[in-house]
Amino acid sequence: MFKSHRLIAALALTLAAGVVAERDARACGGCFVPPGPSTQVTAHRMAFAVSAKRTVLWDQIQYVGDPTDFGWVLPIRGKVDVGVSSDELFDRLESATAPQVTAPPPPTCPPPDKRCRTSCAERGGAFDGADAASSASDTGSVDVWSTDVVGPYEATQLSASDGTALRNWLTDHAYVLPPAIGPVIDKYIAEGFGFLVIKLVPNKTSADRMVPIRIGFDGSSPTLPLRMIAAGTGAKVGIKLFVLGDGRWEAKNFANEEVKTADLVWDWQAMASNLGPLEIGLIEKHKGNVFVTETSDDVTKSTLVSGLPPGTVTTEAGTTFSTITDATELDTAFPAKPAMRVTRLFAELPSAALATDLDLQASLGGVVPRTRQAPKSVNFRCQEFVEIDCPGISPECGGAWDGGTGPSPGPGAGAEPSSSGEFGCAASSSSPATMTWALATIAGLAIASAVRRKSR
């Protein structure tokens, strides 16, 4: 986590603790702090597991400022199970789903020219392509259901008879509720929702204790309303959402896009693909009202949750390790399944779009693998020449080449000395295409990964 005076990013998510088939149960959550010039919600990173048996939310809160100002309010329909996860879960989700583009085989080049080496500084010649690549008190109107200490947080579940009573309770308990969100709170109370409110426990104010919050409840609720997080946002807000399910998921009431493999192009000079610019183009095409599916593929449970630390819960009876962990939540949601599909969605929503709930639905789309090879490439430069030792021209240099009396072909070599040690023009035993591929590998092709061209 970062350290500064103010909040730079507040992550909140919304969900309903009820089965969609039984009722249209929706809610939304917001992270609130005192107002200031930098108190804007700028990004969200969250995971959402949805099955017929269980719905689970993980929310990673990136918070900068005085931790005593931190407060998180989530409308809920009935009591929920509250726990904590770890940053490592999101690190594993990132690692398992981050899109990568690899280069296609390079074009076949003609044999390079041979030039006599005239110095000791550049043995092995030059490879132009490689050079380019480097370039208060409770009131009778508030009913507190429970209060527990979960990890570094105090989590209270409650209901209120009216918005004024809830706002008074929040103020008395050191929560800061932006005035703009008042009408949304009033609406949820009128719809019969309760609330989960969370803040840091006193004396647990270290930034590194801002661990992800996990909320789970029985039943399926694939709705992520966005209304409450609209308060305090800028012109747009980035959302990265990992959806775990039996199959691929997509937005129901927003546009959906994905970058087609056929459109990928590898740039040999930049050593990067055009994946980032293509995603930005899709977002601009829909004026931001779109979710881009970056990857969607199967991931094993063990990859995500094996060995993660368990959270703790503190009640009047004392502090204990929680029996509900990330692993048990996934086992409940997806019993007897070693893996689930993880769909990685990305959006840069304009603030106006946050007035619309995000409804998810099963997608008919297929697998979008994490690693894809670009079918086309640009800016490949063939090796123009190789340097060889020429008797009477090339100086004698210290050190020895592995190949014997003459210089090693090395990267970029297109010829090797004759067995007599005289000037030789015999072609290398490697074909030009094979040599070029080896050079590209040395230049970094084997670990080529997509350089994203967008701000996250």
Q: Where are the domains of the chain?
A: 30-99+138-374
pLDDT band at 61 (very low <50, low <70, confident <90, very high): low
Stretch 309-319: mean pLDDT, rounded? 82
> For residue 210, what pLDDT is reported?
65
Of the two residues 365 and 445, the one the predictor is more confident about is 365
Place of tokens 């993660």: 308
- DSSP H helices, 299-364, are 301-305, 326-333
**Per-range mean pLDDT, top range of 72-76, 332-336, 442-446:** 332-336
> For residue 30, what pLDDT is reported?
57
Average model confidence (pLDDT) across the chain? 74
Of the two residues 253 and 232, the one the predictor is more confident about is 253
**CA-CA-CA-CA torsion sign (324, 28, 48, 174):** negative
Pairing of strands 376-378, 265-267: parallel
pLDDT band at 145 (very low <50, low <70, confident <90, very high): very high
- Least confident window among 34-48, 169-183, 206-220, 241-255: 34-48
State the burial class of residue 397 (Cβ atoms within 10 Å of its Cβ: 0-12, 13-18, 19+): middle
Stretch 304-332: mean pLDDT, rounded? 88
> For residue 445, what pLDDT is reported?
30
Of the two residues 247 and 125, the one the predictor is more confident about is 247
Number of Cβ atoms within 10 Å of the Cβ of 451: 13
Q: Examine the pLDDT at 423 and tell me if it is beyond 90.
A: no
CA-to-CA distance for 231 and 214, rounded, in angstroms?
Answer: 23
Phi, psi of 126 (to 5 degrees): -125, 145
As a whole-number percent, the residues of the chain with pLDDT over 90 amount to 39
Six token digits for residue 123:
């043995």
> For residue 63, what pLDDT is reported?
54
- Least confident window among 62-71, 160-169, 237-246: 62-71
* Under 8 Å between Cβ of 2 and 207: yes
Taking only the tens place, the pLDDT of each residue in 319-346 is 888 888 999 999 999 998 999 999 999 9
> For residue 44, what pLDDT is reported?
60
DSSP code of residue 285: H
Q: At what angle do helices 163-172 and 182-190 cross, to 10 degrees?
A: 120
CA-to-CA distance for 406 and 102, rounded, in angstroms?
Answer: 36
State the burial class of residue 185 (Cβ atoms within 10 Å of its Cβ: 0-12, 13-18, 19+): buried
DSSP code of residue 152: T
pLDDT band at 413 (very low <50, low <70, confident <90, very high): very low
- Least confident window among 97-106, 224-233, 262-271: 224-233
Q: Examine the pLDDT at 271 and tell me if it is beyond 80.
A: yes
As a whole-number percent, the residues of the chain with pLDDT over 70 amount to 67
> For residue 421, what pLDDT is reported?
33
> For residue 446, what pLDDT is reported?
31
Q: Examine the pLDDT at 19 and tell me if it is beyond 60.
A: no
Taking only the tens place, the pLDDT of each residue in 76-123 is 888 999 998 988 999 999 999 999 999 999 988 888 888 887 777 544
Taking only the tens place, the pLDDT of each residue in 360-370 is 999 999 999 99
- Least confident window among 2-11, 91-100, 232-241: 2-11
Place of tokens 């609720």: 221
CA-to-CA distance for 411 and 448, rounded, in angstroms?
Answer: 18
Long-range contacts of 88-93 (CB under 8 A, 24+ apart): 88/308, 88/309, 89/47, 89/58, 89/212, 89/304, 89/305, 89/308, 89/326, 90/45, 90/47, 90/58, 90/60, 90/212, 92/303, 92/304, 93/47, 93/242, 93/304, 93/342, 93/344
Q: Examine the pLDDT at 207 and tell me if it is beyond 50.
A: no
* Under 8 Å between Cβ of 282 and 275: no
